[in-house]
Amino acid sequence: MARLSNAIRKVSDIPDWFYLSNYKFLEELDSAGWYEQLFARKQLFLMLGYRANKKKSIAVEDLAYRAAFEIWEKVNVSLAESSVLSSMCGHDAANGRVQSDYANPIHSLTYRQYLQQETKIKEDSKEKANEWWENISSFDFGTGSTDLNLAYQVMEFIDLPLYMSQRSTSLHAIADVDLTMPDAVLVEAFKTWLARTRADFCLESPKQYRKPDFASWVRLGVLPYIDLTSWAEISGKSIPNRLMANLLFPSGDGGEETIRKTTAPIAMEMIGRGKYSDRTTLDILLAVAAHEGRVGAVG
């Protein structure tokens, strides 16, 4: 097996902030608590990915570094109590995303989501559509020699579902609802739309989600693995699986194979670097946490 570049070999090379005992609080977390911890870390890795793609080093004044340092120092982070993390994760996260509309499987499109959808539209389609819209909104539309030709070009996609004009999709489809129609009509129309849209995405109706096994996450050391990985990435170092196993399983109840086959894949999926999945761990946590919150409120 090839040696890792710039790999550290000794426990003494691990940063002073790392103590496995600092993660004891995880044993008491519910779905909302796990969501908060993982959401902050996933946003950090999103920013680290942007920096890596641009081959940009991370300075201490960089928001990504400041967020990482706060995560390492506090471990049990609170989005509501941190100006750094809330600015990185968004205002909705600071106010409790689990209590927000984002936790509901159906909600009105927010401006944030509109921007997310807009950035995924193919550039060619976006340019043609913007030019066409500007044309038809002009008082002299139809007088130019190119107006009709442009109209024909946009007709290829302008009245199709938005996701058909996007480079990639997030499995969150947008629908237009006529609020003047009776409920019974809307319910039947929604069922038809849902079946057709899922067919476009090659999806079947998923089974009911199950509450994640938090005890196994604690036992496998997924959160400390994530934090050590972010430190290594920012520091330009790598941590071999053998050393990672010594750090996460000091009692010897796990080894290199546990890290490679179980801990690492689970952790990487949690921060958006694993294999593609229709429904991510954060999606499931958010849905479960929102359901638990609604049940608790009723009870």
Question: Is the alpha carbon torsion for 202, 170, 94, 19 positive or negative?
Answer: positive
Asked whether 65 and 59 are in contact (CB, 8 A), the reply is yes
∠272-275-280 over CA atoms, to 5°? 55
Percent of the chain with pLDDT over 90: 41
Instruction: Give the per-residue pLDDT at 98.
Output: 67
Instruction: Give the per-residue pLDDT at 113.
Output: 85
Query: What is the band of 145 on the pLDDT scale with cuts at 50, 70, 90?
Result: low
Mean pLDDT of the chain: 85
Q: Is the pLDDT of residue 191 over 80?
A: yes
User: How far apart are the C-alpha atoms of 152 and 135, rounded to whole Å?
Assistant: 13
Say whether 212 sits in a helix, a strand or coil.
coil
Task: Give the residue-averaged pLDDT of 184-210.
Answer: 87
Query: What is the band of 95 on the pLDDT scale with cuts at 50, 70, 90?
Result: very low
Task: Give the residue-averaged pLDDT of 115-133.
Answer: 89
Cα distances (angstroms) measured from residue 238 to each of 5, 8, 31, 126, 262: 7, 6, 31, 42, 18
154-180 confidence digits (pLDDT tens): 888 889 898 888 887 777 888 999 999
Q: Is the pLDDT of residue 127 over 60?
A: yes
User: How far apart are the C-alpha atoms of 23 and 33, rounded to whole Å?
Assistant: 13
Asked whether 286 and 98 are in contact (CB, 8 A), the reply is yes
Query: What is the band of 53 on the pLDDT scale with cuts at 50, 70, 90?
Result: confident
Query: What is the band of 2 on the pLDDT scale with cuts at 50, 70, 90?
Result: very low
Instruction: Give the per-residue pLDDT at 167.
Output: 85
Tally of CB atoms within 10 A around 230: 20
- Within the chain, residue ranges assigned H as helices are 31-53, 63-74, 83-89, 91-94, 111-119, 123-136, 147-154, 183-200, 214-220, 222-235, 241-248, 256-258, 264-270, 281-298
224-238 confidence digits (pLDDT tens): 999 999 999 999 999
Q: Is the pLDDT of residue 261 over 90?
A: yes
- Rounded to the nearest 10°, the torsion over CA 102, 105, 107, 112 is 40
For residue 211, what is the enclosing H or E element?
none
pTM for this prediction: 0.75
Asked whether 120 and 167 are in contact (CB, 8 A), the reply is yes
